[in-house]
A and B are shown apart, each in its own frame.
Chain A
Amino acid sequence: MNLLQWGPYGIECPQAGVFIDPWGKVDRALLTHAHADHARYGHKHYMAHAHNRAVLRQRLGNNISLQEIEYEETIEINGVRFSWHPAGHIPGSAQIRVAGNNQIWVVSGDYKTENDHFTPAFEPVKCSHFITECTFGLPIYHWKPQAHTAQAIADWHLSNVNQGYSTLLYAYSLGKAQLLIHLLKNLCPIYIHPSIAEMNRALHAVGFGLPELPLISAWKPKVDAPALFMAPPGASNEKLLRRLSPCKEANVSGWALVRGMYRRQNLDNGFALSDHADWPGLLSAIKGTGAEHIYCTHGFTSEFSKYLSEQGYQSTEIHTRFLGDAAPEPMSTLETDESIH
């Protein structure tokens, strides 16, 4: 019998009686990271990497029951051994390794293979069964090196300023925003949205070094020089942002690689910077695990799984709740991350 299975609550380990990133309400939820489509409200008991402490308490409530785990630490439950390993996605993100019954499984959660020198870098974990995300599991998705994209953003901002415009970047407040701050902090001054400041504080509390940045509300129209602003996509209609004009807007997301994605939002530009793996990243990660059995979830599951099968893997698609491509909608009001469709 397979050590991990999936049902109405998502991925489940029946022998240990635990669920990984479940939906619904369960007794014991093991979390890969704190994005809202993985860390849901209402479970009795949570286990997650210690870096998630402040964010989880802020999002799910101060009184949740949370057991903090360190990377490489092993927890045994009813003969099944669980350990957390860096996934490089956002601060606190982990792959969860599950061993027992002579099987080794790894649940990737969301991951990114490029080292951003901010989040602990992705480490391949040997296993025979690998459950992988495939948010960007189409061969059109090739990221440029992040430093390259950061420079392109800085150049664009400079040309905006030269024409008398400010720049407003839309970035998810947990993960993407901090990555951008990390990449841009030495290139130009930045003003941030309060929800980003909130996440910065939560990450600062667990030891992530982030500069103290002024809030958008501190910038005075017609008085202050054009500046660079950062806000989550869900905030695009807020009054706070309307006072920033004249202003050029761009979203910062892996989806921005496709022109239609930012053009239809009436944005001026888009920058493909993601905290997920691109196509070659996914393939190299899978190869690195040495796994024969691959299970595809989150994203282009049917396409990616079919391709892997043709490459000689035993590949299966994990069906999630909705039929359909689940095309991405980065400007949705849900404040989560790129993998929410």
Chain B
Amino acid sequence: MPLQSLCPPLKRMKAFTDLYHRLNQTNSSIEKQQALEVFFRNAPDRDAVWGLALLSGRVSVRLVGSRRLRGWVAECTNLPEWLIDESYQHVGDLAETLSLLLAPYRIASSDNSASASTASASTTASTASTASASTTASTASASTASASTTASSQDLSTIMLDLIRLKKRDESEQKEYVLHNWRQLDGPSCFLFNKFITGGFRMGVGQGIAVKALSNYMNRPVSEITQALMGNWDPADYTLERLLNRGSIHSHTLPYPFFLASPLLSSASAAEPSDQGGGESIQNTALHQLGSRTDWMAEWKWDGIRVQMILREGVSSIWSRGEERLDDAFPEIAALAHLLPHGTVIDGELLCGEFPAVRSFQDLQKRLGRTKPSARMTTQQPVFVYAYDLLELDGQDIRRKALSERRWLLERLVETLNHPLLHASPLIEGIEWSDLHQKRLESRRHAAEGIMLKRACSVYESGRKRGHWWKWKLDPMQLDAVLLYARPGHGRRSNLFTDYSMAIWDQERMRLLPIAQVYSGLTDTEIREVDAWIKGHATEKFGPVRTVVPQLVFEIGFDGIQRSGRHKAGIALRFPRILRWRRDKSASEADDLGIAENLLNDRNLDENLLNNRNLDENLLNDRNLDENLLNEPTKQEPN
């Protein structure tokens, strides 16, 4: 096949597709790292940069809404839209659904013969499918011919640039381009392409692994690469080499990699074998194993946004831990950063409230995602910063100094500055560990999530390194609730009923009120068991949602509770999750609204004491509650 040498671009996108699928096929960090190294080695330089940007979630090229995409697929495949929706319900992933549906539409290309004539390809592709499909195929092939893009559109970087350019073009041009690629790309690449245009692309790998792979491949230290990849950068502007040199060019606006604490299990929850930890394995590190209390510094674990405030070369920048710039959303903090001495980096927590009164995270969220807050907003949702740490002083990186020394320097700096929006996060005194136990139970009253423990002699590491910094969170509040509705999950959990609506009894214990939407925190075995149970106990069907016999009881945990006008039970929970399956309880033994109200009153009492402020008025238009808290199924009316 002498022609094959003429179409190397097809192979290029393939390098990225192969990487994606190899990453998905393994849970081993080493294999993931190897797959990445292979990618960096094989992919063209610009594709490597785009690959990096994509896997760190820096690029989103959402081109078309899902409604419109479904319409185009309906047109290409001659299928009714309701059937496309049903297929989506079954698959649980839109990009995947569409690429599966498009199988008969695409030119058979598993053998790299994408440049083969359209006529022969459409016959092979639709052997078994209906005649109507092949007619749509031939109309589309006409537009393929007219599209100026050639086989080079298969190059990852070209595709990404095309998509960005097309964002501003009209629908017909977008459609022509998308349909062209649907025909040209093979199944796995088509799936990724759909992920790009639906804005749902995520890579199954942490940036840490990518950094290690890149460090091996480029033979440069990890720290340098981590630094170079921080913050905002546009892959269109860089080659790999230039990107990695960026560290020194733009360094004055870049934050240091954040040092993250590891969770410390409280003795109560450590004794609970059914308790589901997160992904990482957590050993039971009890307080007494930490040694002498005097070796440790304790402070509140504030529930705000972790930030670095930077002033270098006269330019200030505010970075969140998620590596986003917050300067625009919080102009008063940006102004504060301008007052810092030159060459300063402070690590701290951005909080809503007026010092020393800290308000809830929900209040802070109202300030997020807005570029220029109104004057009313800055008055109603004032913010300030509790500083934890000092990373750079007089232009010197002091992260290797002991925490106790950095803290001393920080306190002097804050004192000198004497600004109403900047305070050192207070240390919790107390000689014995037992004092801390007591203090931790008071966390909620301080609007904190628990206690942070940091070894006084610790340096400022990057990433999550165990041993020196611990977060000791408060146990969650709990309710026993009844499973009422279930719907299938997505992705890995598609087609398994894993999203549950949980309910508690009303005051009279007559009716069940939905109180939280939880994503299963159960083990795989339990999920399968509950899934099978749901299939045998469904009483009603609304699209993907099943109403089930109210019978299974689960203990749900949550970190906050608030009054809410938009939820049927009148309350909303923060970060609800299943703690365990109460097989020992029947539905009649589940908790009721009265018990939930008690939790609510305790909480509000605490907050009102501290803040002297009524929070209820602000809750109705809280956008973020909708995201994280209680999503009730749309159709429901249990009797």
Which residues of chain A have a CB within 8 Å of any CB of chain B? 113, 138-142, 144, 148, 257-261, 263-264, 266, 268-269, 278, 280-281, 283-284, 300, 303, 306-307, 310, 322-329, 341
Contacts and interface: CB of A to CB of B under 8 A. Distances in A.
A138 B86 contact: yes
Contact of A264 (B24, B100, B493): B493
B96 A261 contact: no
State the 5 A-B residue pairs at the shortest beta-carbon distance, nearest first: A280-B128, A260-B494, A140-B100, A142-B103, A324-B538
Given A259-B93, A280-B129, A307 B492 contact: no
A323 B87 CA distance: 19
Contacts of A259: 24, 93, 96, 491
Contacts of A263: 24, 491-492
Contacts of B97: 140
A341 B532 CA distance: 9
Contact of A310 (B77, B80, B127, B490): B80
Contacts of A306: 82-83
Contacts of A269: 25
A307 B85 CA distance: 13
A141 B491 CA distance: 17
A166 B105 CA distance: 36
A260 B492 CA distance: 4
Given A138-B83, A326-B535, 13 more contacts: A113-B128, A138-B90, A139-B77, A140-B97, A140-B100, A258-B100, A259-B24, A260-B91, A264-B524, A268-B26, A280-B129, A281-B128, A325-B495
A141 B535 CA distance: 23
B414 interface: no
Given A264-B524, A310-B80, A323-B541, A140 B488 contact: no
A315 to B, nearest CB: 14
Given A139-B77, A322-B535, A329-B532, A264 B90 contact: no
A329 B528 contact: yes
Interface of B: 24-27, 77, 79-80, 82-84, 86-87, 90-93, 96-97, 100-101, 103-104, 110, 127-130, 488, 490-497, 524, 528, 531-532, 534-536, 538-539, 541, 546
B535 A307 contact: no
Contact of B83 (A139, A264, A324): A139
Max count, chain A CB within 10 A of own CB: residue among B77, B91, B92, B497: B91
Contacts of A329: 528, 531-532
A260 B488 CA distance: 12
Contacts of B26: 268
11 contacts: A142-B100, A258-B100, A258-B494, A260-B91, A260-B493, A306-B82, A324-B541, A325-B90, A326-B535, A327-B496, A327-B531
Given A257-B100, A264-B496, A140 B25 contact: no
Nearest to A285: B128
A137 to B, nearest CB: 10
A324 B110 CA distance: 37
A319 to B, nearest CB: 13
A85 B315 CA distance: 81
A124 to B, nearest CB: 13
B26 to A, nearest CB: 7
A323 B91 contact: no
Nearest to B540: A323
Contacts of A300: 86, 90
A268 B25 contact: yes
A307 B80 contact: yes
A284 B128 contact: yes
B101 to A, nearest CB: 6
B464 to A, nearest CB: 24
B494 A324 contact: no
Nearest to B82: A306
Nearest to B133: A280
B594 to A, nearest CB: 34
Given A138-B87, A281-B128, A324 B535 contact: yes
B101 A139 contact: yes
Contacts of A310: 80
Contact of B93 (A148, A260, A323): A260
Max count, chain B CB within 10 A of own CB: residue among A139, A263, A268, A325: A139
A264 B25 contact: no
Max count, chain B CB within 10 A of own CB: residue among A281, A306, A327: A327
Contacts of B127: 280
A115 to B, nearest CB: 13
Given A140-B91, A281-B128, A258 B495 contact: yes
Contact of B79 (A139, A144, A260): A139
Contacts of B493: 260, 264
Contacts of A148: 110
A310 B535 CA distance: 28
A257 B534 CA distance: 24
Contacts of B494: 258, 260-261
Nearest to B536: A322
Contacts of B528: 329
Contacts of B490: 260
Contacts of B101: 139-140
A144 B130 CA distance: 17
Nearest to A255: B495
Given A139-B101, A264-B524, A269-B25, A327 B495 contact: yes
A111 to B, nearest CB: 14
A326 B541 CA distance: 12
Contact of A280 (B86, B87, B104, B535): B104
Contacts of A280: 104, 127-130
Contacts of B80: 307, 310
A220 to B, nearest CB: 25
B83 A328 contact: no
Contacts of A268: 25-26
B78 to A, nearest CB: 10
A138 B495 CA distance: 14
A258 B491 CA distance: 9
A260 B541 contact: no
Nearest to A258: B91
Contacts of A322: 535-536
A260 B97 CA distance: 11
Contact of B86 (A141, A260, A284, A303): A303
Contacts of B497: 327
A333 to B, nearest CB: 10
Contact of B495 (A303, A323, A328): A328
A261 B488 CA distance: 13
Contacts of B27: 266
Given A258-B96, A261-B495, A327-B496, A140 B128 contact: no
Max count, chain A CB within 10 A of own CB: residue among B79, B90, B110, B524: B90
Nearest to A307: B83
Contact of B92 (A138, A260, A325, A328): A260
B123 to A, nearest CB: 14
Contacts of B82: 306
A260 B25 contact: no
Nearest to B108: A144
Contacts of A327: 90, 488, 495-497, 531, 535
Contacts of A138: 83, 86-87, 90
A296 to B, nearest CB: 14
A280 B26 CA distance: 33
Nearest to A261: B495
A156 B488 CA distance: 31
A313 B213 CA distance: 57
A268 to B, nearest CB: 5
Contacts of B546: 324
A142 B541 CA distance: 28
Contacts of B110: 144, 148
Contacts of A266: 27, 524
B122 to A, nearest CB: 14
Contacts of A261: 494-495
Contacts of B534: 324
Given A140-B87, A140-B101, A329-B528, A260 B495 contact: yes
